[in-house]
Amino acid sequence: MEVIINPEFEYLREYIESIPKRFQSEGQSIYTGRNQIKVMSVDGLEINVKRYGIPKLFNRIIYSFFRYPKGRRAFDYPKLLLEKGFQTPKPIAYIEERRYGLISHSYFISLQCPYKRNFYEFGDANIGDCSDVVVAFAQYSARLHEAGILHRDYSPGNILFDKVNDKYQFSLVDINRMSFEKISVKAGCANFSRLWGQIPFFELLAKEYAIARDADEDQCRKWILAYRKIFWKRFVKKHKIKYKLDF
């Protein structure tokens, strides 16, 4: 078993190394699927433990010998965001189990984000009820992209936020899929395609994002709505969902 610990949390080593044995019976489950997420408490800290499912054979070989697995990237990337001033839960440790030389379960442990809200709440929201959040989020996203950071799974559940001292604060989670490079305005607009919301939500997002990046508002609106349409048509078709998309 390989264990990599953020030096700041070295004092938790004994507990961290016991997590694979504790995981099934302890903690509060907050997500269950191929990957599982639990919230645990140790030494006065609330920690988030994500256990990644065992990859299929081809990916097991790739992640064992040629590429960092998701959990390891999730452990490494926060440092890059935090150094640039963007919030993401502070990483605590990465654990990797192997069987017959191939990766088995792996774990990413971080501090639990205190923000309780996410962007799922805007799926059917009236723009008048969320315009202040949308404006703040558009400006935040522009800063993120200008800093050369692209979250490749910029979806509703991975953007946590809350109002702190009368100002909206955002924190990114599930950041194992990231790009660090120059982000064009077009690429930035495409990054919003996974979000939920009605047309007015995206129109305001496009307007404020364009202003923040000194770009053409009409072009940003066209790009954002077009990429949104492409993504959701593919999503519905892939998952064979019987749902009439209203674009």
Terminal alpha carbon distance of the chain: 50
Same domain flag for 34 and 70: yes
Residue 105 CA to residue 156 CA, distance in Å, equals 26
Same domain flag for 129 and 82: no
Q: Using alpha carbons, select from 20, 180, 14 the residue that is nearest to residue 99.
A: 20
> Virtual CA dihedral for 112, 116, 120, 125, nearest 10 degrees?
-160
- For 137-159, how does the pLDDT look when each residue is reduced to its tens digit (9 = 90+)? 999 999 999 999 999 999 999 99
Does 31 score more than 90 pLDDT? Answer: no
In which residue are the tokens 């129109």 written? 203
The confidence band for 234, taking pLDDT boundaries of 50, 70 and 90, is confident
- Give the mean model confidence (pLDDT) for residues 165-193: 96
Does 33 score more than 90 pLDDT? Answer: no
Q: Which domain holds residue 200?
A: 117-238
Higher pLDDT, 75 or 32: 75
Same domain flag for 231 and 126: yes
Same domain flag for 66 and 132: no
The pLDDT assigned to 93 comes to 98
What letter represents residue 226's amino acid? A
Same domain flag for 107 and 130: no
DSSP-derived secondary structure for 183-233: --HHHHHHTTTT----HHHHHHHHHHHHHHTT--HHHHHHHHHHHHHHHHH
Does 241 score more than 70 pLDDT? Answer: no
pTM of the model as a whole: 0.91
